[in-house]
Chain A
């Protein structure tokens, strides 16, 4: 029984990771860059919710909606100001800029909201579903349901809509897509918008679990979600889901074993390194060879 509840815990935090990982994987697949600042968008979203709660104390869902919209706009803005000027420049330059943006968000948040962590419970879903001996928190169920819904919607979006197919085309070959009349800049903008929106949403579920908000709130989950994206195969949407859930489960199990619990982070990062060395394409990614 305990194992199953551990597993469910893992699934719910895995669902959160998957939502963040989707942002990484889509941006990597389409804009061909590692958006280091992605994790910090979660943090910004969290603070926006905090402000909204102070202003409109009661209306939780409006707060969430405002945070998501704000992050979408922020994603678009950052892409426009920091990343687009560097399109065509060396990947190293883009990566360093992304690191700079992440650094910028963190220090801005620290200046505006000070260093003491803010306690913030956005959604409080108490109680648990009892199935015989097994009890499942409602919050776990909600997290899982939302994660599943988001992924289904995103898959359908990419497969069925014109914009979604254009995204696939841009990720395959940006120049060819451009020649086919696809507005590459617009597609990349949409990708950043979706990724940032999902990050804000993931922030809600993270706060549900640990309601303490500081300026580095998103940094570690961001890096872990990137790990998840790599495990699943970066660039692949189902890969991000599988990787996220796998990482969540591994984390939950590792926390339960006292001997290795303090080393959970080290274990997760070791998995990342091993996967990159043994199968850099991840579980569901496909290999592309360098032409000579």
Chain B
């Protein structure tokens, strides 16, 4: 395993569906602690990039590395264990479970909370200890997101903005090095967006993790992202500092036409 200065590095990453190139030649280099934006018009292939990075799809060309380790070919569960967690564009919570349990599912694979099935079946002291510790950790996480008071409500009963936050909390619970957020601010009003921006800043500081996000709200992107990549038709149009990349003539052309 080679030590890399980049947390995530993709090399000519691409996928085609039956001859149609959905994504091609995407080269991302994301440094430790960065908030990196992936923007582009609808259908540009942003979510497909996320699906490639999380093992939902297998790339047909190129590869990608997390901290120098090649993750191409791994399944979704394995990639999560390696340290990439994600949220979804259309929220996917465990709707019939309580808020705190949603987060506790995220803590499931944490080595601190190991407890095999026999220990659970025979109700050995380990089981109670682990359950208690997991619940405490989950409550800590929920406190950061201001969801502590909601912890015993069902996830499906939360308002939209809180569901988005809960999904981020659950992803964070898996202890990732890289967090992928798929349109975290979609459908939020300005107040909620501002609130979300603060939360993202806090988790970067507190957890020291790197964040890659997809977002349509360009104001939000330019405020929060250190660097961005603009995608169109599956390829990168521009890369670099948010302001520069968004002012690139190619990008303006892609967004508002000639």
A–B direct touch in complex (beta carbons closer than 8 A): yes
B163 to chain A, nearest CB (A): 18
Chain A residues whose C-beta falls within 8 Å of the C-beta of B56 in the assembled complex: 292
Q: How far is the CB of A84 from chain B (nearest CB, A)?
A: 24
Q: Provide the bound-state CA to CA distance between A292 and B47, in Å.
A: 9
Q: In residues 233-292 of chain A, which contact B (Cβ within 8 Å)?
A: 292
Chain A: residues with Cβ within 8 Å of the partner, total of 1
Tell me whether chain A's interface is mostly helix, strand or loop, or mixed. Answer: loop
Nearest chain B CB to A280 CB, angstrom units: 19
- In Å, the complex CA distance between A292 and B88 comes to 8
The total of interchain contacts (Cβ-Cβ below 8 angstroms) comes to 4
* B-contacting residues, A136-187, CB 8 Å: none
User: Which chain A residue shows the least CB distance to B92?
Assistant: A292
Chain A residues with Cβ under 8 A from B239's Cβ? Answer: none
Chain A residues closer than 8 Å to B47, beta-carbon distance: 292
Q: How far is the CB of A289 from chain B (nearest CB, A)?
A: 9
CA distance A292 to B53 in the complex (A): 13
Asked if B98 is at the interface of the complex by the 8 Å CB criterion, the answer is no
Residues on B with beta carbons closer than 8 Å to the beta carbon of A292: 47, 51, 56, 88
Interface string of B217-253 (1 = CB under 8 A from A): 0000000000000000000000000000000000000
- A292-B51 Cα distance, complex, nearest whole Å: 8
Compute how far the CA of A17 lies from the CA of B171 in the bound complex, rounded to whole angstroms: 50
User: How close is B217's CB to chain A, nearest CB, in angstroms?
Assistant: 22
In the bound complex, CA of A292 to CA of B49 (Å): 12
Report the nearest A residue to B86, measured CB to CB: A292
Residues of A within 8 A of B88 (CB): 292
Q: Roughly how many angstroms separate A292 CA and B46 CA in the complex, as a whole number? A: 12
Complex Cα distance, B56 from A292, in Å, reads: 8
Closest beta carbon of chain B to A155's beta carbon, Å: 27
Question: For window 29-63 of chain B, which residues contact chain A by CB distance below 8 Å?
Answer: 47, 51, 56
Which residue in chain A gives the minimum CB-CB distance to B88? A292
Q: How far is the CB of B186 from chain A (nearest CB, A)?
A: 16
Shortest A292–chain B CB gap in Å is 5
Q: For A290, give the chain B residue with the smallest CB separation.
A: B56
Docked complex Cα distance between A96 and B241 (Å):
56
Instruction: Write the nearest CB–CB distance from A288 to chain B, whole angstroms.
Output: 13
Chain A proximity of B167: nearest CB distance (Å): 14
Residue of A nearest to B47 (CB): A292
**Interchain CA distance A13-B68 in the complex, whole Å:** 62
Q: How far is the CA of A292 from the CA of B57 in the complex (A)?
A: 10
User: Which residues of A are at the interface with B, using a C-beta cutoff of 8 A?
Assistant: 292
B positions within 8 Å CB-CB of A: 47, 51, 56, 88
Which 4 pairs show the lowest CB-CB distances between chains A and B? A292-B56, A292-B51, A292-B88, A292-B47
Task: Show 4 residue pairs from A and B whose CB-CB distance is below 8 angstroms, ordered by the A residue.
Answer: A292-B47, A292-B51, A292-B56, A292-B88
